[in-house]
Amino acid sequence: MKRASLIIFLVLLADQILKIWVKTHMELSEQIPITDWFIILFTENPGMAFGFEFGGDWGKLALSLFRIITVVIIFIWLRRLAAQKARPIAIVSVSLIFAGALGNIIDSAFYGLIFNESNNQVATFMPAEGGYAGFLYGRVVDMFYFPLFRGYLPEWLPFWGGDYFVFFRPIFNLADAAISVGVALLLLFQKTVFANPSEEESETQQEKAVS
């Protein structure tokens, strides 16, 4: 678990440092252009991916509880992989997914308690008047915006012709990036990740015997 613990610690540390800096140095919707296609844009996500919401306060609570249950399941999976001495790529990918999911849960669980609102002001850490929401009702801080292409679609294009188009539109954070990389690694190396260690060892011994 040493490799997994190191990955989780580094991702969580970098993710929370960046989020706290953005929250305490920028107002909501404020932008810091790094390049034409890379912008730090402070947004807060109250719900699921891409800002989707459902069910009001009850929906938010259900989503937070679902996230916690999911993270517990991922952690159990990670422990089993470590106990089975799974391939490093399996440990790395699942560790990234776990760290990313946990990083966003921290926002949802605690940011409403320890920060005030960011609308028309820079938020304060541990404000005297209290936070902007209760436990599990906080909003996830997002900041990475990569508008690689911006322009109007050709008029001849059906349905969307002439519409203003931005690629890549979603705004995300480091935790989201960790989850995406982890999932991508699982898909790319699924045969290795989901291989049975005992079967691999048996096949290796058979190959040695034949040679």
pLDDT score of 47 more than 90: no
pLDDT score of 50 more than 50: no
Q: How far does Cα 117 stand from its chain's mean position?
A: 22
Active site residues: 142, 176
pLDDT score of 51 more than 80: no
CA distance 135 to 129: 16
pLDDT digits (tens, 9 = 90+) for 181-196: 999 999 998 887 776 6
Residue 197 lies in a domain: yes
Q: Is the peptide bond before 168 cis (omega within 30 degrees of 0)?
A: yes
- Mean pLDDT, residues 13-29: 97
pLDDT on residue 19: 98
Cβ–Cβ contacts within 10 Å for residue 104, how many?
A: 24
Q: What percent of the chain has pLDDT over 70?
A: 87
Structural domain range at position 152: 2-206
pLDDT on residue 144: 96
pLDDT on residue 149: 84
Calculate the CA dihedral of residues 91, 93, 96, 98 and round it to 10 degrees.
-70
Residue 53 lies in a domain: yes
- Mean pLDDT, residues 173-182: 96
Residue that has been written with the tokens 């790319």 in this structure: 188
pLDDT band at 198 (very low <50, low <70, confident <90, very high): low
Total domain count, the chain? 1
pLDDT on residue 211: 52
Residue 111 lies in a domain: yes
Residue 123 lies in a domain: yes
Burial class, 196, CB count within 10 angstroms (exposed 0-12 / middle 13-18 / buried 19+):
exposed
Residue that has been written with the tokens 């991916």 in this structure: 49
pLDDT score of 201 more than 80: no
Q: CA dist 9 to 37, 88, 99, Å?
A: 29, 17, 8
Higher pLDDT, 52 or 156: 156
Residue that has been written with the tokens 């890549």 in this structure: 168
- Tell me the pLDDT of the chain averaged across its residues: 87
- Mean pLDDT, residues 120-134: 94
Residue 211 lies in a domain: no
Residue 176 lies in a domain: yes
pLDDT on residue 208: 53
56-83 and 88-106 helices cross at what angle (nearest 10)?
Answer: 150
CA distance 182 to 207: 32
pLDDT digits (tens, 9 = 90+) for 63-95: 888 889 999 999 999 999 999 888 999 999 999
Q: What percent of the chain has pLDDT over 90?
A: 63
pLDDT digits (tens, 9 = 90+) for 89-122: 999 999 999 999 999 999 999 999 999 999 999 9
Residue 66 lies in a domain: yes
pLDDT on residue 135: 93
